[in-house]
Amino acid sequence: MTTLGTDVTARPGSGGKPPKATEVALAPGAVVPAATPAAQAGPAYVTEKQTYDAVLLLGFGGPEGPDDVMPFLRNVTAGRGIPDERLTEVAEHYHHFGGVSPINDQNRALRQALEAELERTGTALPVLWGNRNFAPYLTDTLHQAHEAGHRRLLVLATSAYSSYSSCRQYREDLADALAATGLDDELQIDKIRGFFDHPGFVEPFVEGIGTAVAELAGQGHRRIQVLFATHSIPTGDAERSGDPAVDYGAGGAYEAQHLAVGRVIMDQVSTPDGVGLGSALVYQSRSGPPSQPWLEPDINDHLAELAVGTDRPDAVVIAPIGFVSDHLEVLWDLDNEALETAAEHGIAAVRVPTPGTHPAFVAGLADLVRERVDGRPPQERAALSDLGPDVDVCRPGCCGNARRPFAPALGGIAP
């Protein structure tokens, strides 16, 4: 695994989350900020062969000890006016696990596995790692990349879907970091497309659900429902998710992509003889004020409704398809709250693993890197739903935030 120096605290913008950028430099004639030449004109799909110096794994970030929890939460909620009293309530979830989020160790393992897989498959590139909300901060990683001589970076965000929080906010943070470091004229940065329906992301869930269904069936359960769980977002953001020129339905691209993934998975899961297998998309981890509508149903509410419904299952399989690894939201909201709710209602429940470093997922991410390096045309790209493959360069106005104006963002046509 490639290791870069870590002493970058004296560099511009280093050692913390950068302020919001007001502008990002455009190369002459470009409509895509800071992109490589093949992406600068804004094609939906880049079909020219590309050369990159490194892959940058871009994570959400998380605390690694009790003293990190509140600074991390302040970073996550910066600009939203959330008082420390409310953050203290959320902090207790982290302190339940010793003040440590599993996400950083997950990303360390994923970084190492992806770099090894790229080398094994003939696309040897160093894999760097930076976070949006905590150390190692993205600004530090950009400085490290520059000092190592890297000038063209391919970013892999640890989020598979289209929405403000799962795509555009990552792209805005890239713009913020580029402006804060002063490396606007030094680095060219592209982003790997959304991979919600790539086989490498889907296969671990098919495997996990199949195993859980077989286990529950072996225990005598005959009415099983698969609950596809993902992070809830404000309905206004959901409606704005994806390409504004495409009608995805009421929940925008975010909901449509999750529904599509659920259908693909259910088509591939084997159902034991005598077992009735259903499914539903549910949401978790809402955090906005009660007056603000968010996507529903909440998984706990749905479990309570199942318990008194005419189609009551005797078991559920919880599949966290909104996550690539075990965020704290998976450990607390699913392994703690949702499993407790199921038990309270006498419903057996199993939570399946997130992709993490599953070999199929790591191989899928390596395929997404090669897809851009090879300039693979869209008809030759791996995608399992009729919504894919997702675009390389985000469309104008995609994934807007209903509560703020557009801000500079990399990896897409301005704004």
CATH of domain 37-62+101-194+358-380: 3.40.50.1400
**pLDDT computed for residue 5 by the predictor:** 45
Low-confidence residues of the chain: pLDDT under 50 = 1-3, 5-6, 8
- Domain 199-351 matching CATH 3.40.50.1400: the answer reads yes
**pLDDT computed for residue 81 by the predictor:** 76
CA–centroid distance for 303 within its chain: 25
**pLDDT computed for residue 27 by the predictor:** 87
Nearest to 212 by CA among 313, 332, 106, 336: 313
Sign of the C-alpha dihedral computed for residues 164, 167, 172 and 177 taken in this order: positive
Q: What are the domain boundaries of the chain? A: 37-62+101-194+358-380, 199-351
From first CA to last CA, the distance across the chain in angstroms is: 36
What separation in angstroms does the CA of 130 have from each of 27, 95, 138, 218? 25, 24, 4, 43
**pLDDT computed for residue 9 by the predictor:** 55
Which pTM value belongs to this model? 0.96
**pLDDT computed for residue 136 by the predictor:** 97
Q: Where are the alpha helices (DSSP H) in 96-184?
A: 103-120, 138-147, 169-181
- The DSSP element (H or E) to which 42 belongs, if any, is none
**pLDDT computed for residue 80 by the predictor:** 79
The reply to whether 199-351 shares the fold of 37-62+101-194+358-380 is yes
Q: What would the pLDDT profile of 215-224 be if each residue is shown by its tens digit?
A: 999 999 999 9
**pLDDT computed for residue 7 by the predictor:** 52
